[in-house]
Amino acid sequence: MRPSILRRLFRRVASTAVLGLLAATLSTTAAAQPAAAAGGLQQITGFGSNPGNLQMYAYTPAGLPANAPLVVALHGCTQTANAYYTNSGWPKFADEWGFAVVFPQTTSANNSLSCFGWFDPAEDTRGRGEAASVVQMVEYAKQTYGSDGRRVYVTGLSAGGGMTADLLAAYPDVFAGGSVASGLPAQCATSQAAASGCQTGPQKLTPAQWGDKVRAAHPGYTGPWPRVAIWQGTADYTVYPANATALRDQWTDVWGIGQTPASTDALPGNTTRSIYNDASGRPAVETYSVSGMGHGLPVNPGTGAQQCGTTAAYFLNAVCSTYYTGVFWGLDGGAPGGGGDGLPAPTGLTVIGTTDTTASLSWNAVPGASSYAVLRNGTKVASPTAGAYTDTGLTAGTAYRYTVAAVDASGGAGAASVQVTATTTGGSAPATCYSATNYAHVTAGRAHTSGGYAYANGSNQNMGLYNVFVTHTLKESPAGYFVIADGGCATG
């Protein structure tokens, strides 16, 4: 038997125990069945080489204009594309606002519970498996429906939410925004053995460590990051609320903004929205906490402008999450995040020098910019008019995170640049060295994992496979910043 077939069989058998939490309370009536082409939902074949063995379904409203947005909607375990089409509310707003919706479907041929493989590097990483199949569906929609490649969004529930986060990390050049409902942080688990642990309580990582998992998914990426909405019920005991906190930490760090919301407000269905703004003051990350709701996608049946969906297994009556997600993305005709179109993100942000108390930055000029907003650790610290700035009054031996956004003559800031880290020199605390296996380094909080590999915290250096057989010496200086020092570790 071919190795690929053996791996597929292993995933089908082992996943039942590992992913049972995601479907433990489903009734037999919710068991996965082939999706019917109900109403306007149509199955699409021949959309690509389909390395992830997925099925593609799509809904395209009548009179869909060229260059319309595209939404990709991923179902949860034991569900189907048809269930998501029928109950989520996306067709209503596709009709009202004018965009196409693609509903990928996985089956028991991939996973015994029909879960997307959010925990499997063979399925959820760039260019591989199910993730690559979803991107092929996007390309098909762009070619066939004329979808605007700059306005492609992805949303998902539960395992589909975990895959959504992985897709946003692996393909930030494809997706302008995402929405994770009762889901998991990107690359929370990289094996089936670790999947259930993520569901009940993800690793206690710092925001930077969570952000590193995203940055490692597409190394070298310098473009804008997706805007991310996070939906979570406070009484979810299948995918615990700690995952929403980890998702918030992960994506605010990627954006280079802090974990304190710029504002909070109350929405229908006992829902609290917290908004985390980018450098221009536009929402980059939003969290929606639904008090008392269990595991599922919030819907709110009715004919009101802000109502949608149908209640069913794991479609829970609270608030129309689809409406608020669509507005957040700008599908209603507003700008993404609620602001203006803005200037493009500055490129080439570089740390050109540090001292004990200063960090000097430079970046490429943006046409039309009258000034720039410089953010240190998510807080604006300066508004220089040229593509360079020296930050002063810093603490010796300390790491600082910076992003820059261009500002136009009216005061509107554009998209933020890629984040860079500057570490000041000096500091009285001597370096500390640790020699241990990669497994021990991760367990002790000196390193983290992504895609089956261990990475040093701070420097993000690849340490090799995450196991007990590979040993490295790590040097810590300043606190929390580790570099590989196998050739010798001076502690002075």
Active-site annotation, residues: 158
Q: Tokens in use for 326?
A: 């669509």
* CA distance linking residue 107 with residue 114, whole number of Å: 5
Q: What number of residues does the chain have?
A: 492
Q: Who's near 15: CB < 8 A, 6+ residues apart?
A: 111, 112, 113, 115, 192
Parallel, antiparallel, or unpaired: how do β-strands 152-157 and 263-267 relate? unpaired
Report how far residue 341's alpha carbon sits from residue 332's, in angstroms, rounded to the nearest whole number.
Answer: 14
Helix (H) or strand (E) holding 454: strand 453-456
In contact, 338 and 282? CB cutoff 8 Å: yes
Q: Which of 111, 114, 134 is nearest to 124 (CA)?
A: 134
CB neighbour list of residue 163: distance below 8 Å, 6 or more residues apart: 74, 116, 117, 118, 124, 130, 131, 134, 156
Task: Give strand ranges (E) for 19-159.
Answer: 42-44, 55-59, 70-74, 100-105, 152-157
Please tell me whether residue 207 adopts helix, strand or coil conformation: helix
Question: Of the candidates 88, 106, 89, which has an alpha carbon nearest to the alpha carbon of residue 22?
Answer: 106
